[in-house]
């Protein structure tokens, strides 16, 4: 390394003493938590990240920010992974999870300064976590999936911190999308793959819409002037190529006689025509062709024939979309022309090419038994907003999914954290020794969430948090910070609710990560 090596390297490339290692880890991880603190809550702001190749990203989502920061320190990286884990498990609360972890680490460093052994701290934290989860669960209000308004409320809460917060339509889109793909009576999980998000530049976020059916990013093939609008569509999905066959080995066709030249030339059209005829015979009038890297999935000749046979062609279907398309329109992918039969086709009322300012898209609507999949078409006036809208919508979908997984709601606005903090403090009084001390520190650390919420909203954090404590001590367990009014109110009445799963998963993931960081006493860099 040259004289002025990047700071990041020199900080951990030597074998350090135990205490230094812990301190360095804690400092690094807390720095990360501090960095994204300002994006927590409805008054949180966005971060703009310019990547090394000059691409710009604007986001409010903790996991997205940390993923794109390109963190160097291993402990900081763990925090980024923590956010990701929360993203996978609950889909929302990625910022909170990091903020909690940061606060817990702060508590840890104080405890260690007092000479408490890390293993005792970790044990007590475990204890505190279990208690906290009990408290959270006891606070929760059961919710039924048929109660659409409650679902919309929690989706709105999740969207509150995002750039899209003012557009109320997104929350209901998210709820409708999820409710569409599940059976509310029996569902225990949602496969978010059944909800496809398509981004298209142009229009504003208000123009985002839920499509019962399919939307394709690509246009219908125009090369041969085929149809672009078909009613009563019968949709076939093929995974083979409609072009001249190739052998795997190098081959040569040797023509010895001029008369045979014609035959060679005519062979290709004949072959392709035969395939197109078979497709038409099955009654298919919309053909989706999977992308092929080996050879052209369709060539001019086959497009020409298909256009003549009045079949709408959409080519370059990605492989991973096949399953989605099949469940949506109810077709079966066809791998060989010989198995192209009418029962494998899907049906739809209308397949239509629609123009947008950012190129055309194809919409398939009016599928016979909807309810398996939906598509959400996101719109936005610039790429950055559009990307962020998509991420926010994904978060909202995840929130609804969390509710499907665990059908309980709890209040938002810092109410659960304060409640947990108080209950756990009370619990600590029943313990003795160092454990009691550590559990108490854990409880205090959780106050970071209401504290940050108040701070981001420009309120006085200390007075707000103490007032909140007071209210909770009086038994008003649903009191929380009403950021809009800048006061403490009953947050359930304000419709600020979040799924229980988001909070429980945030707490357990954060605690586990902290315990893990705590137990590291040595870093050796192996090269």
Scan residues 127-166 and list those touching another protein (CB under 8 A): 163, 166
| Residue 249 makes contact with another protein by CB under 8 A | no
| Least spacing, CB of residue 80 vs another protein, in Å | 11
Give CA separation, 166 vs 162, 256, 267, 370, in Å.
9, 75, 61, 30
Among 183, 251, 336, 432, binds another protein (CB under 8 A): 251
Q: How many Å apart are CA 520 and CA 120, to the nearest integer?
A: 14
| Least spacing, CB of residue 96 vs another protein, in Å | 18
C-alpha atoms less than 13 angstroms from C-alpha of 8 in its C-beta half-sphere: 9
Residue the block writes with tokens 């106050």: 447
| Least spacing, CB of residue 27 vs another protein, in Å | 7
| Residue 4 makes contact with another protein by CB under 8 A | yes
Our CA dihedral for 338, 339, 341, 345, rounded to 10 degrees, sits at -130
Q: Which is nearer to another protein, 259 or 293 (CB)?
A: 259
Q: How many residues bind another protein, per CB under 8 A?
A: 84
Q: How many Å apart are CA 376 and CA 389, to the nearest integer?
A: 11
| Residue 47 makes contact with another protein by CB under 8 A | yes
Q: Which listed range, 23-31, 115-123, 428-436, 460-468, lies at the site for another protein (CB under 8 A)?
A: 23-31
Among 88, 113, 264, 462, binds another protein (CB under 8 A): 264
Q: Which is nearer to another protein, 123 or 296 (CB)?
A: 296
Pairing between strand 195-201 and 487-490?
Answer: unpaired
395 a catalytic residue: yes
| Residue 253 makes contact with another protein by CB under 8 A | yes
Instruction: Please pick, among 95, 156, 157, 435, the residue that the annotation labels catalytic.
Output: 95
| Residue 31 makes contact with another protein by CB under 8 A | yes
Q: How many Å apart are CA 179 and CA 131, to the nearest integer?
A: 33
Largest separation between any pair of C-alpha atoms in the chain = 102
Per-residue binding string, another protein, 299-328, x by CB under 8 A, is -xx-xxx--xx-------------------
Instruction: Give the burial string for 457-496 (b: 16+ CB within 10 Å, else e).
Output: bebebeebbebbbebbeeebbbbbbbbeeeebbbbbebeb
Q: Which listed range, 110-118, 255-263, 340-348, 398-406, lies at the site for another protein (CB under 8 A)?
A: 255-263
> Do residues 173 and 209 lie in contact, with contact meaning Cβ atoms separated by under 8 Å?
yes
Instruction: Please pick, among 64, 87, 92, 94, the residue that the annotation labels catalytic.
Output: 94
Structure tokens given for 83:
């956010």
| Residue 201 makes contact with another protein by CB under 8 A | yes
95 a catalytic residue: yes
> Which DSSP letter does residue 194 get?
G
Q: Which is nearer to another protein, 61 or 321 (CB)?
A: 61
| Least spacing, CB of residue 493 vs another protein, in Å | 19
61 a catalytic residue: yes
Among 198, 273, 322, 350, binds another protein (CB under 8 A): 273
Q: Which is nearer to another protein, 258 or 430 (CB)?
A: 258
Q: Which is nearer to another protein, 105 or 420 (CB)?
A: 105
Per-residue binding string, another protein, 382-401, x by CB under 8 A, is xxxx----------------
Among 15, 20, 56, 323, binds another protein (CB under 8 A): 56
| Residue 6 makes contact with another protein by CB under 8 A | yes
Q: How many Å apart are CA 63 and CA 357, to the nearest integer?
A: 31
Q: How many Å apart are CA 213 and CA 222, to the nearest integer?
A: 22
> Do residues 206 and 192 lie in contact, with contact meaning Cβ atoms separated by under 8 Å?
no
Among 186, 250, 336, 526, binds another protein (CB under 8 A): 250
| Least spacing, CB of residue 32 vs another protein, in Å | 7
Give CA separation, 482 vs 316, 317, 377, in Å.
49, 47, 32
Instruction: Please pick, among 156, 395, 452, 489, the residue that the annotation labels catalytic.
Output: 395
Among 270, 430, 432, 433, binds another protein (CB under 8 A): 270
Structure tokens given for 38:
């300002």
> Do residues 394 and 90 lie in contact, with contact meaning Cβ atoms separated by under 8 Å?
no
| Residue 53 makes contact with another protein by CB under 8 A | yes
Q: How many Å apart are CA 415 and CA 421, to the nearest integer?
A: 10
Site for another protein in 448-507 (CB under 8 A): 457-458
Residue the block writes with tokens 């052209």: 296
Site for another protein in 352-371 (CB under 8 A): 357-358
Among 35, 170, 488, 509, binds another protein (CB under 8 A): 35
Q: Which is nearer to another protein, 6 or 342 (CB)?
A: 6
Query: What is the DSSP secondary-structure string of 313-358?
Result: EEEEE-GGGHHHHHHHHT--EE-SGGG--GGG-EEEEEEEEEEETT
| Residue 261 makes contact with another protein by CB under 8 A | yes
Q: Which is nearer to another protein, 114 or 295 (CB)?
A: 295
Site for another protein in 210-229 (CB under 8 A): 222-225, 229
> Do residues 517 and 501 lie in contact, with contact meaning Cβ atoms separated by under 8 Å?
no
| Residue 252 makes contact with another protein by CB under 8 A | yes
In 107-205, DSSP assigns E strands to 141-142, 195-201
Q: How many Å apart are CA 404 and CA 90, to the nearest integer?
A: 11
Q: Which is nearer to another protein, 269 or 370 (CB)?
A: 269
Site for another protein in 59-118 (CB under 8 A): 60, 69-73, 76
Q: Which residues are catalytic?
A: 61, 94-95, 395
């Amino acid at each position: 390394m040259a004289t002025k090596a990047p700071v990041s390297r020199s900080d951990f490339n030597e074998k350090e003493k135990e205490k230094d290692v812990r301190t360095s880890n804690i400092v690094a991880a807390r720095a990360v938590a501090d960095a994204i603190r300002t994006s927590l809550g409805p008054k949180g702001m966005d971060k703009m990240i310019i990547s090394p190749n000059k691409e710009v990203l604007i986001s409010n989502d903790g996991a997205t920010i940390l993923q794109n920061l390109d963190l160097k320190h291993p402990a900081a990286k763990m925090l980024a992974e923590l956010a990701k884990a929360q993203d996978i498990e609950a889909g929302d609360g990625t910022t909170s999870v990091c903020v909690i972890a940061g606060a817990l680490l702060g508590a840890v460093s104080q405890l260690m300064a007092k000479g408490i052994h890390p293993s005792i701290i970790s044990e007590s934290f475990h204890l505190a976590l279990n208690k906290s989860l009990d408290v959270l669960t006891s606070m929760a209000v059961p919710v039924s999936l048929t109660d659409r308004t409650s679902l919309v409320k929690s989706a709105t809460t999740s969207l509150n911190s995002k750039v899209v917060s003012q557009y109320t339509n997104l929350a209901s889109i998210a709820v409708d999308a999820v409710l569409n793909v599940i059976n509310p009576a029996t569902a225990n999980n949602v496969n978010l793959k059944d909800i496809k998000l398509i981004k298209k530049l142009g229009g504003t976020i208000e123009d985002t819409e839920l499509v019962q059916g399919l939307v394709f990013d690509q246009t219908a093939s125009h090369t041969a002037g085929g149809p672009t609008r078909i009613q009563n569509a019968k949709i076939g999905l093929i995974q083979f190529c409609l072009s001249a066959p190739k052998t795997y080995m190098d081959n040569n066709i040797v023509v010895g006689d001029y008369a045979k030249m014609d035959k060679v030339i005519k062979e290709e059209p004949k072959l392709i025509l035969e395939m197109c005829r078979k497709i038409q015979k099955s009654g298919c009038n919309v053909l989706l062709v999977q992308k092929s890297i080996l050879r052209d999935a369709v060539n001019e000749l086959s497009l020409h024939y298909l256009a003549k046979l009045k079949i709408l062609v959409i080519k370059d279907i990605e492989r991973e979309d096949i399953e989605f398309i099949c469940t949506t329109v109810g077709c079966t992918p066809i791998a060989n022309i010989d198995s192209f039969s009418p029962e494998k086709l899907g049906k739809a009322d209308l397949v239509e090419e629609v123009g947008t300012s950012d190129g055309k898209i194809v919409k398939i609507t009016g599928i016979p038994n909807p309810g398996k999949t939906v598509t959400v078409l996101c719109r936005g006036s610039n790429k950055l907003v559009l990307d962020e809208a998509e991420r926010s919508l994904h978060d909202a979908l995840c929130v609804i999914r969390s509710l499907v997984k665990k059908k309980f709601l709890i209040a938002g606005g810092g109410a659960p954290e304060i409640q947990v903090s108080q209950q756990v403090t009370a619990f600590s009084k029943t313990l003795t020794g160092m454990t009691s001390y550590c559990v108490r520190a854990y409880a205090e650390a959780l106050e970071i969430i209401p504290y940050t919420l108040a701070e981001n909203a420009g309120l006085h954090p200390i007075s707000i948090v103490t007032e909140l404590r007071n209210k909770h001590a009086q038994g008003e367990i649903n009191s929380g910070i009403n950021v809009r009014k800048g006061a403490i109110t009953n947050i359930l009445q304000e419709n600020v609710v979040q799924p229980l799963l988001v909070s429980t998963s945030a707490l357990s993931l954060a605690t586990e990560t902290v315990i893990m960081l705590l137990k590291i006493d040595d870093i050796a860099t192996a090269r």
